[in-house]
Amino acid sequence: MSRRSLDTAQAASLSPGNRAFWGAAALFILAVWLATRLVTNDYVFFAGYVVLQYILLSTAWNILGGYAGYVNFGTAAFFALGAYVSVALNKLWGPSLPVLILAGGLVSGGIGLAMGYLTLKLRGVFFSIATLALAIVMQAVITNWEYVGGASGAYVLRPRQGPLGGSYVEYLFFVMLVMACGAVALARSIERSAIGYGLAAIRDDELAAEASGVPTLKLKLLATVLSGGLMGMAGAPLPFYVTYLDPASGFNLAYAVNAIAMPLIGGTGSWIGPVIGAVLLTAVQETAMVTISSAANLLIVGLLLVAFVSLAPNGILGLVRDLRARGRR
Amino acid sequence: MDPFLELLLNAVVAGVLLGGFYAAVALGIAIGFGMLDIPNLAHPAFVVVGAFATWQLNSNFGLDPVLAGVLAAPAFFLLGLGLYRLYYLCFERRGENALQGLAFFFGILFVTEVVLVLTAGADYRSVSAPYIGPGWRLGAIDLPLRMLVPFGVSLAMILVLDRFLSGTFTGRAILAVSQDQLALRLMGVSPTRIKLLAFGLATGTAAVAGALLIIIQPVEPSIGREFIGRAFAVVVLGGMGSFAGMLLAAIMLGVTESVVSTLYDPSWAPAIALGFLLPTLAVRAGGLLGRRL
């Protein structure tokens, strides 16, 4: 399997579709950058940051959850860990944002490796339960860690100016834009590589995959580290975005629910699914927050998640595919 | 007696009582997850719903909390039947119960919490009963009735269900479902109907466990999360569906949490469940008194 899929993967990397993707990604970043030159209101960056953060989180979740079929309930733990690594390092010697992001990614990826090593040899449901418990433990650890503010939280000074000119919020927005695009590109290339085929084989029938020589544990660990690392990177800029971070908001269950709901609603099979889900759900929540209430907006996400997994297990992508198939007949 | 020893002894006794209550929460998961292989993450949220139902019955009609929990149990049984039907139609029948099923129960957990906040408010609620407050004293050991009553009720509930499972035809059929569904089918029993009944029972225990929870401490809607890790850790460590193992694991967890809370800091207590769960999964996934996975 590995030889053939490697050939396919190499063929795919040279295909016109691939060049189109990279071209589109570069154009997208450029277009957004140009568009922001015209914007003077910081609200656009604040709102855009949240959308991009959720694209990053749901894409990260999907690398393990969608491709390998292992459900991670601990998104909030990996995400908040990245944020708190950032708080701690910033207090220690204040390195620049890219360094903080790298550190957050490394720590969260490392936790993913340790968790995965202990629980990934078993059925997926045990990994899921362990990630749920991990979020609670991490929150207890941070709550007891006085250096980063403990239970009462930490204040972080947001510089006024970004290093590229413009406000710091604008800079945060761009960093998140680049990370989100990078994560989507990574997910896309994994999907079309030997790794992606191996993960799909694990998802469909792990025993059969193991029997046909797929290195299942190695691949699952790799996916867990990448997924956890990206979540940590997504969290690292958070302290500068919110300027005040406490354990209850960093470890908010809403992050975990959104990170699961977005890919499942968009469609877990492809890199575009989490992107669709993230954009759609963030828009729905922003609207509900303004028009109804914040509790109702959580209710909407929960109900959408339950409805989609029960009625449309392949998400919006699956619905579109079914419609097309029906149209052709 | 040496004051430190006295403190430690009291912490251990309090932990045993707390463990008895944890077993009541874990009971529904031992049946649902341990025996039927249905990962109902929302069970602790149902326990909180049970606590709020008890609060309503207690504050409006002055019912005894334990009695209120027992009275609410049939309604929870019906709720469990409905939920299993939905789970069966959407996931088990299609054979997609791994990823989607987990996400389904996670969504149910979240929806349950939010609905509770919207209907009952985010405040802490508590109940009143003659046994909340006073306590017994055995030498240097305090035995608050607030902990002793839930401990006793929990043991009674586990005992009754254990008798039911090992002593009746239906109960044995439930045990059989957990071992070999095909064999059960060959005996002319429908595994789905048996699972439906068993899941209803599992959900029914949440009402009683909720009553015990609100006797022990004031309750707010999102408190159920703290019990997810604990309850699953207890079930896995106990050996997936073994009631004796579950009780032993629950008491071990209760004692460890109580001693750590007393000697160090109560805020570390929720973290201990993972300290139980991870080594169990890594070293002996079959649990203390269970079959190997």
Alpha-carbon gap: B119 to the closest alpha carbon of chain A (Å): 11
Q: What is the pLDDT of residue A150?
A: 82
Give chain B positions within 8 Å (CB) of A132. 41, 228-229, 232
Q: What is the pLDDT of residue A41?
A: 75
Give the closest of B98, B117, B228 to A69, CB-based. B98
Q: Tell me: pLDDT of B105 over 70.
A: yes
What percent of chain B clears pLDDT 90, i.e. is strictly above it?
45
Q: What is the pLDDT of residue A77?
A: 93
How many angstroms separate the Cα of B28 from the Cα of each of A62, B41, B45, B180?
31, 11, 12, 20
ipTM of the modeled complex = 0.85
SS3 label, residue B125: strand
Q: What is the pLDDT of residue A14?
A: 52
CA nearest to B282 within chain A: A118
Give chain A positions within 8 Å (CB) of B106. 71, 73, 257, 260, 305
A262 domain residue, yes or no: no
A75 domain residue, yes or no: yes
Which of these, B45, B74, B258, B78, lies nearest to B151 by C-alpha position? B258
Domain total of chain A: 1
Q: What is the pLDDT of residue B94?
A: 74
Q: What is the pLDDT of residue B4?
A: 86
A265 domain residue, yes or no: no
Give the closest of A137, A260, A313 to B96, CB-based. A313
A260 domain residue, yes or no: no
How many angstroms separate the Cα of B156 from the Cα of each of B159, B162, B206, B209, B211?
5, 10, 15, 12, 14
- Taking an 8 Å cut-off on Cβ atoms, the answer to whether B94 and A313 are in contact is yes
Cα(A134)–Cα(A117) distance, integer angstroms: 14
Cα(A20)–Cα(B6) distance, integer angstroms: 73
If one compares B15 and B293, the residue with the highest pLDDT of the two is: B15
A282 domain residue, yes or no: no
CA nearest to A133 within chain B: B229
B258 CB burial (10 A radius; 0-12, 13-18, 19+): buried
A275 domain residue, yes or no: no
Q: Tell me: pLDDT of B76 over 70.
A: yes
Cα(B61)–Cα(B227) distance, integer angstroms: 29
Give the closest of B39, B94, B281 to A130, CB-based. B281
Q: What is the pLDDT of residue B292?
A: 41
- Taking an 8 Å cut-off on Cβ atoms, the answer to whether B285 and A122 are in contact is yes
Q: Tell me: pLDDT of B293 over 60.
A: no
Cα(B225)–Cα(B42) distance, integer angstroms: 9
Interface of A with B in 238-257 (CB under 8 A): 253, 257
Q: What is the pLDDT of residue B129?
A: 83
> pLDDT (tens digit, 9 = 90+) per residue, A14-53?
566 777 888 888 888 888 777 777 776 777 888 889 999 9
Give chain B positions within 8 Å (CB) of A129. 39, 41, 228-229, 232, 236, 277
A160 domain residue, yes or no: yes
- Give the 3-state DSSP-derived string for chain A, with helices as H, strands as E and coil as C: CHHHHHHHHHHHHHCHHHHHHHHHHHHHHHHHHHHHHCCCCCHHHHHHHHHHHHHHHHHHHHHHHHHHCCCCCCHHHHHHHHHHHHHHHHHHCCCCHHHHHHHHHHHHHHHHHHHHHHHCCCCHHHHHHHHHHHHHHHHHHHHCCHHHCHHHCEECCCCCECCCCCEHHHHHHHHHHHHHHHHHHHHHHHHCCHHHHHHHHHHHCHHHHHHCCCCHHHHHHHHHHHHHHHHHHHHCCHHHHHCEECHHHHCCHHHHHHHHHHHHHHCCCCCHHHHHHHHHHHHHHHHHHHHCCHHHHHHHHHHHHHHHHHHCCCHHHHHHHHHHHHHHC
- Enter the pTM of the model: 0.88
Give the closest of B108, B110, B267 to A140, CB-based. B267
Q: Which domain holds residue A245?
A: 42-251
CA nearest to B229 within chain A: A133
Most confident of A207-221, A225-239, B186-200, B270-284: A225-239
Residues in chain A, pLDDT under 70: 1-16, 40, 329
Residue with tokens 């189109």: A20
Q: What is the pLDDT of residue A156?
A: 86
What's the whole-number average pLDDT of chain B? 88
Q: What is the pLDDT of residue B130?
A: 83
Q: What is the pLDDT of residue A11?
A: 45
Cα(A76)–Cα(A245) distance, integer angstroms: 13
How many angstroms separate the Cα of A285 from the Cα of each of A54, A241, A277, A296?
12, 19, 12, 9
